Structure formats: C-alpha cells, structure tokens
Structure 1
Amino acid sequence: MELSPFIRGAGLGASLIVAIGAQNAFVLRQGLLRAHVPLVVGVCVAGDVLLIAAGVAGMGRLIESLPWLVTMTTWCGAAYVAWFGLTSLARALRPAHTGMEAAGGREAGAGPTLRTALALTFLNPHVYLDTVVLLGSVAAREGGNGAPLFGIGAAVASCAWFSSLGFGARYLAPLFARPLAWRLLDGAIGLVMLALAGSLLA
C-alpha cells in the first residue's frame, strides 16, 4: 500500500527535525525552566512552516544558485552557535546552590529569548538545506496536489515535535531539582553547540 504524500512529508520532516541541534537544545532548556515556552515554540514552528512552504514553492533552486548566501549564513550561524555553546559551558562550570541558580534563573526577558529563538532558527544553514532544499526537492517529485500535502505533513510534524519538546519538558523537572543536573545539561548543550559550530565551518 502506497503511503500518502502527507504521511511521507510527516515522516521525512520528523526525521530531520528530531535530530539533536541548536533549536532542540534551546527549546528543551526553556521548557525545563518554564520560561517563555509558547513564544519559543511558536517561533520555531512558524519558522519551520515558513521555510517548508518556501521549499515547496520552489525557493530551494534559488538558494542553490546563490552560494554566497549559504556561505554568509554559515559563518553567521557558526559564530552565534559557538557563542551560545560557550555561554552554556560557562553556566556548567559555575558553582550554584540551587537548581534555578544553576539554570541561570528566569532573568532573561521575552526580548532576549525571542532574539535567541530567531537566531537559532534562521542563522543555521542546515535549517535551509533541510527544509527549503531537501524537503522542497522531494515535494517537487510528488506533483499535482501531492506537493502541498507533503509540505503540510512536514509542517504538522514540526508543530507536534516542538510542542511536545517545549511543553512536555516540565515533566522532566524533578530530575533537574539539583544544580548538578542543570550543570550536566548545560555542559552537554555547550558541547553539542561547539560541535555544530565546528561542523558548519568544516
């Protein structure tokens, strides 16, 4: 039995989105802090939906024809992700007495949180390659009404994933009642971010 374009889009979209990356690490951390979760989830979902729609509309061919744009985005993304990683490692190495102190507190307002979410969404060239180029090229093979259904499936997968990660993280809160757990999480996030920055430059 052949799968529908919607299911194929949801499956490929989920396989690309679930991979560990800067967005997922940030959404998880905000979810654990229960800080600006609707804002962060909304930005990530809206960004993915926008880029998936651009890919389905054929924007991927334009990106492939502008290598300088990919290069510029790569350098900007690598710099921001490296800074985010170093900040996470600094928190991991800083002694703290409570879980919330180890988490960095709730002092980050909506403005800084929004800027970070936007940067991690749109300054990562992998996001464009995955959503606009890859998903767009696969959607183009569906033809007819298949391409929009494929894109809708990928968008639904993105919405389900980021919503589950952001709003479901609170159930892991008991595990992060101790400062050591937050320091280990921030250390892991920092290493993932630095590795991602290195892979972008490589």
Structure 2
Amino acid sequence: MLDTSAFVEGLLLGAGLFTSVGPKDAFVIRRSLAGRHLLLIVAVCAGSDALLIALGAGGFSALLARHPLLLSVALWSGIGYLVCHGLLALRAAIAGHHHADGDATPARNAFLQTLMATAAVSLLNPYAWVDTVLVVGSIAASKPGGARWPFMLGAIVASFAWFCGLTSFSHAFRRLFSSAIAWRALDAFVAVMMFGMAVHLATARLQ
C-alpha cells in the first residue's frame, strides 16, 4: 500500500525545490516558445530528475560526501557549464537572434537536437544535482524501506507537474515574443541568472 504521508512529503519537497527558476527552467521556457517537441522536453526533464533522485537514494549522495575531490570536480565542471551557457545567452541578447529555436531545422534533426540539448542542460546542471541527488536523494535514502519509494514518487510527480505547467504556460504566451526586444530581454535575463548562479556556487565553494 502506498504510504501517503511519505508521498505527500516528497511531493511538497519536490514542489519547493523544482519551482524555483534555474538554468534548466530557462532552457525549457526558451524551447517551449518555439512550440516544438514539448512532450519530449517534459519527458527528458522529469526523467532526468527521476534518474538523479534514484542515484541519490541508491547511495550516490553518500559516495559524493565521502569523496570531496569528486564533488569538487563535479561542482567546478557545473560552474563552467553555467558560464558557457551564460555567454551564449549574452551573445544572443547582443546579436538579437530572436528567431524561435529550431524553426528552420528539419524535423528529424530538430528532435535529436532537442533531445541532446535537454539531456545536457538536465544532467550537467549543478543545481539539478544539488536538488535531486544531494537533497531529495539523501532524504529518500534515510527513509525506511516502505516509505522510500513513495517519497521518491512524490518528488518525481512534482517534477513532472512543474515541467508540464512550465512548457504549457510558456507556449501559451509565445505571441509576446514576436519582437526582437522581448527575445533580447529573455536572453539577457538568462545570461544574468547563469552568471549569478555560477558566482554564487563558486563563492560558496571557496568559503
């Protein structure tokens, strides 16, 4: 029988963690505005969260805690990824490349590009690892056997619901981004957010 209290606990924790806008969310918003492969984006984002939660619950969070060098390498690699993502967004904001992603790309290539890009922003994002592996996964690992999988399921449902809502909401308001100014503002926001997160992670690690 499903442990509803553990499920609700995981659902609420996941809702609190996943609904804060981060690099993956900014990527989802931009791709959703293009209106292509929305179900694929939701499936990869939520599926990657489920994978990382399972890794954390399976003991990977404890492994990272026992090997600080491994954690440092992963963290600094993630910081580098955030900086690169921020530079690309800054370049787009300055150049004014406001066309929807993938509009002129053949369907097959667009599907593969969306799949690879979504997987990269989901699995190379240090904030995703902190939220899923180190927070949700470690808490799930501390639960007794009967409550562990309902807790994980609740967090996974929260992730799926968030990305479904985010893609739907972004796609519904795509008309607002028919101008270059709106796209430049979005890219500038993404660039500032990426640089800010990278600086925050770096300063926190050096302290």
Q: Report the TM range for the smaller structure's normalisation.
A: 0.7 to 0.9
Which blocks of at least 5 consecutive residues in structure 2 are unaligned? none
Q: CA RMSD in A?
A: 2.0
TM-score (norm 2): 0.85
SS at match of 1:46: helix
State the alpha-carbon separation in 1 of the partners of residues 116 and 67 from structure 2. Answer: 26
Deviation at 1:59, TM superposition (A): 2.5
Deviation at 1:24, TM superposition (A): 0.3
State the alpha-carbon separation in 1 of the partners of residues 102 and 114 from structure 2. Answer: 13
State the partner residue of 2:64. 63
State the partner residue of 2:131. 130
1:169 to 1:24, Cα distance in 2 relative to 1, 3 A: same
Partner letter of residue 103 of structure 2?
A: R
State the partner residue of 2:84. 83
**Is the CA contact 2:57–2:141 (under 8 Å) kept in the aligned structure 1?**
yes
State the alpha-carbon separation in 2 of the partners of residues 95 and 47 from structure 1. Answer: 31
State the alpha-carbon separation in 1 of the partners of residues 102 and 119 from structure 2. Answer: 21
**Is the CA contact 2:12–2:155 (under 8 Å) kept in the aligned structure 1?**
yes
**Is the CA contact 1:40–1:113 (under 8 Å) kept in the aligned structure 2?**
yes
Deviation at 1:143, TM superposition (A): 1.6
State the partner residue of 1:11. 12
Q: Does 1:198 align with 2:199?
A: yes
**Is the CA contact 1:91–1:104 (under 8 Å) kept in the aligned structure 2?**
no
SS at match of 1:20: coil
**Is the CA contact 1:17–1:158 (under 8 Å) kept in the aligned structure 2?**
yes
State the alpha-carbon separation in 1 of the partners of residues 69 and 162 from structure 2. Answer: 32
State the alpha-carbon separation in 2 of the partners of residues 14 and 38 from structure 1. Answer: 20
State the alpha-carbon separation in 2 of the partners of residues 72 and 118 from structure 1. Answer: 20
Deviation at 1:36, TM superposition (A): 3.0
State the partner residue of 1:94. 95
SS at match of 1:58: helix
Structure 1 stretches of at least 4 aligned residues deviating more than 4 Å after TM superposition: none
> Any idea what the Cα deviations from partners look like across 1:15-58, whole Å, max 9, x if unmatched?
11111110000001111111332222221111100111222233
Partner letter of residue 172 of structure 1?
A: F
State the alpha-carbon separation in 2 of the partners of residues 170 and 92 from structure 1. Answer: 20
State the partner residue of 1:181. 182
Partner letter of residue 20 of structure 1?
A: V
1:106 aligned to which of 103, 122, 139:
103
**Is the CA contact 2:10–2:153 (under 8 Å) kept in the aligned structure 1?**
yes
Q: Does 1:23 align with 2:24?
A: yes
1:158 to 1:31, Cα distance in 2 relative to 1, 3 A: same
1:47 to 1:137, Cα distance in 2 relative to 1, 3 A: same
Which blocks of at least 5 consecutive residues in structure 1 are unaligned? none
> Any idea what the Cα deviations from partners look like across 1:47-72, whole Å, max 9, x if unmatched?
10011122223321112112222212
**Is the CA contact 1:51–1:131 (under 8 Å) kept in the aligned structure 2?**
yes
> Any idea what the Cα deviations from partners look like across 1:94-148, whole Å, max 9, x if unmatched?
246xxx53x4563463344333322222222332222122112322443231111
* Superposition map of 1:43-62 within 5 A: 43-62=44-63
**Is the CA contact 2:23–2:194 (under 8 Å) kept in the aligned structure 1?**
yes
Partner letter of residue 135 of structure 1?
A: V
State the alpha-carbon separation in 2 of the partners of residues 104 and 162 from structure 1. Answer: 18
